[in-house]
Amino acid sequence: MNVSYLDCCSNPKLEGVKVLLETNRESESLCQCKTCGAYWYHRFLDIIKFDGPDDQTVWYSPVTEEEAQHILHAEGRPDLKFLLTRPSFEKDNQGIRRVSGQPDKPLYG
């Protein structure tokens, strides 16, 4: 998946390395850039609105090598509280922006 607005390198191309959650309304996965090797935590959330278009939000947060290894080798859901304050990219129907963090738990899952 090509995510041109990420800042790990000049040509970021992400590949999922571990799926933590996959439903029809949200997903979470650890991704790695095939170009530079950087890790990113990816979250997708779809809030269904019956009176208009759905609200879809995507977050990407950079993850250190140590954090990635912890996620990769965790049995069950790892502690992801660091995501709450990790500067991240957020993309929704209002565009792409830098935010101060992302949720650390599923909304529905």
Domain boundaries, the chain: 14-99
CB 46, CB 25: distance < 8 Å: yes
pTM for the whole thing? 0.92
pLDDT single digits (tens) 95-109: 999 999 999 999 875
Residue partners of 92: CB distance under 8 A and separation at least 6: 55, 56, 57, 58
pLDDT single digits (tens) 9-35: 999 999 999 999 999 899 999 999 999
CB 30, CB 71: distance < 8 Å: yes
In the DSSP assignment, the letter for residue 70 is H
pLDDT single digits (tens) 52-82: 677 899 999 999 999 999 999 999 999 999 9
With bands split at pLDDT 50, 70 and 90, how would you rate the model's confidence at 51?
confident
